[in-house]
Amino acid sequence: MLVEDDPQLRQATLDALELANLDVEPFECADRAARYLSPGFAGCIVTDIRMEGMDGLQLFGRISALDPEIPVILITGHGDVSMAVRAMQDGAFDFLTKPFSTDHLIAVVRKALLSRQLVLDNRALRKAVAEPDDEMIARSRSMEHFRSIMTQLARTEIDVLIHGEAGAGKELWARQLHKQSARYSGPFVVLAGTVSQSDQDILTAVAQAEGGTLFVDSYNSLPEPRQVQLAALLDKRDRHNVNDNGRQGFRLILSATTTNSDDTIVTELDRRVGPVRLRVPPLRERRDDIAPLFARFVSEALPQVGKKRFEMSAADRKRLLEYDWPGNVRELRNFAFAAVLNLPRQKIGSNREIPNNGMSARVAEFERMVICEALEAARGNVVRTCAQLKTPRKTLYEKLAKHGIDPSNYRQGPSAGGSHSGRA
C-alpha cells in the first residue's frame, strides 16, 4: 500500500514500483488506507509522514495496534528524520528521506515483503501445531508419545517411514507431519506404490513435490527398478542441497502396511535411504481414543444423512468397549456411519479379554468411557462435565484420578459430540 497525498509524487512512485512487478494499491490519504487494513494483511505499507488529516506517524500507530508485525516504511523530509528514527525504535520497518532513489525504495519494499511472508508462514505453522486436524484425535498415552515424536520429526528435514496396520490412518498422519513442517506452504504429492509406475511417473511426482513433500504410499509395492530410480533421485537431491537452506528439493515420507507381529521391511529403497521409522499404534493399543473418535465420526455422519440426534444401543456400546477393531480407524468410521444410519452391523462377540474378566473390570471400563465421552462433549470443561453426568465435582475429580484422565487433553479441538454425545 502506497500512501502519499502529493498526486505527482504518488504517481511517480506508483509507476516505479509497478515497473518492478510489484502490486501496489495507492491511497491519497491515511484515513482511507487505514480502513482497508486487517491483521492478515500480506503486504507492507509505504507512507509519507507529512500529510493533511491523519499523518504517517498516526497511521503507523494505527497499524501497530492492529498488527505490530505489518512492515511500515516511512517517507520523510530532512526535518522529520528524528521522528522517523523514533518510529523505527517503536517498530517501523525502515525510513527513506526525500529525495530517494526508486531502486533503494524497491529494495526496501522487497525486503519488507519477504519479512511479512516469513511472519505469516510462522503464524500458520504455529496454528497448525496448536490446532491439529479434527480427525487427529490422540488422547491415549501411546498416541501422545507418537504425536510427540512426530512433532520433533516435523522440525527436521529427515525422510520418514510411517508404518502400521491397515486402516490405522498412515496417510492422514503423513499429511499432519507435512502440515507441521517448514514445508507446510508447499505441495503434498501422493504417489501410490500399488499402482504400476513408469520412469516418467516418478520424475513427474518428484518435480511436482519441489519445495514440499513426496508421499509414497505402500512404497514396498513399488517395483525394484522404480525404487532404485527414486533412491538415485534422493541422492541427487541431497547433493544439490549441500549448504542450502534445507527447503529446496522435496522431503520423502513413505508408508507401508505391517502387522503387529511382523513390522520388518527391507527393500532396495530401505537399503539405500534408511528413513527414520514411525509406527502408528493400532486402535486396540489406543483404547482411550475409541470413544472420542466414534463421537467425531457420528458428528460427521449426522449432517450427511440429514439427522440431528443419535442414541447408542447397548450392543453398540458393548462393541466399542470390547472389540479390538482389526480394521482400525477406518473400520470404526464405517461402524459409526452404519450406526447413525441404523444399518445392520456385524453381530460379533468380544475378541478382547478385559483384565480380570470380571464385573468390576467391566464396570470400571464402562465408567471410564462415559467420563471420556462427557469430557469430549464438554471440550474438557469440568463444570459442564459434572452437569452432564449429574455428578458432584469432588466425585468427578476422584474418578479422573482413579482412571488417570486429564481433562486438559480434551481442550485441544472443537466438541466431537454435539447434542448427541451425552446420549452416546
The mean pLDDT of 198-212, rounded to a whole number, is 88
pLDDT category, 268, cuts 50, 70, 90? low
Is 123 in the same domain as 228? no
Is 166 in the same domain as 246? yes
Is 208 in the same domain as 221? yes
Cα 254 to chain center, whole Å? 19
Q: 249 versus 12: which is more confidently predicted?
A: 12
Is 138 in the same domain as 277? yes
Tell the burial category of 205 from Cβ atoms under 10 Å away from its Cβ (0-12, 13-18, 19+). buried
Q: What is the pLDDT of residue 266?
A: 58
Q: Which of 235, 264, 281 is the last residue of a domain?
A: 281
Is 197 in the same domain as 239? yes
| Residues 305, 310, 315, 318, Cα dihedral to 10° | 110
Q: What is the pLDDT of residue 125?
A: 54
**Amino acid at site 199:** D
pLDDT tens-digit readout, 182-191: 888 889 999 8
Is 105 in the same domain as 118? yes
**Length of the chain as a residue count:** 424
Q: CATH number of the domain at 166, please.
A: 3.40.50.300
Q: What is the pLDDT of residue 355?
A: 42
- CA atoms 2, 6, 9, 14: torsion sign: positive
pLDDT tens-digit readout, 302-353: 888 888 888 878 788 888 878 889 889 889 989 998 888 888 765 444 444 4
C-alpha cell read off for 274: 534408511
The mean pLDDT of 213-239, rounded to a whole number, is 85
Q: What is the pLDDT of residue 129?
A: 46
Q: Which of 127, 145, 175 is the last residue of a domain?
A: 127
Structural domain range at position 246: 134-281
Across the chain, mean pLDDT equals 80
Is 183 in the same domain as 212? yes
Q: What is the pLDDT of residue 28?
A: 92
The mean pLDDT of 49-64, rounded to a whole number, is 89
The mean pLDDT of 265-276, rounded to a whole number, is 68
Is 269 in the same domain as 162? yes
Q: What is the pLDDT of residue 277?
A: 87
Q: Which of 94, 127, 160 is the last residue of a domain?
A: 127
Q: CATH number of the domain at 114, please.
A: 3.40.50.2300
Contacts of 21 (CB under 8 A, 6+ apart): none
> Which stretch of 103-112, 261-270, 373-382, 403-412 has the lowest confidence by average pLDDT?
261-270
Is 292 in the same domain as 274? no
C-alpha cell read off for 256: 507401508
Is 356 in the same domain as 396? yes
Is 225 in the same domain as 163? yes
**Number of separate domains in the chain:** 3
- CA atoms 383, 388, 394, 397: torsion sign: negative
pTM for the complete prediction? 0.52
What whole-number distance in Å separates Cα of residue 256 and Cα of residue 211? 24
Is 146 in the same domain as 276? yes
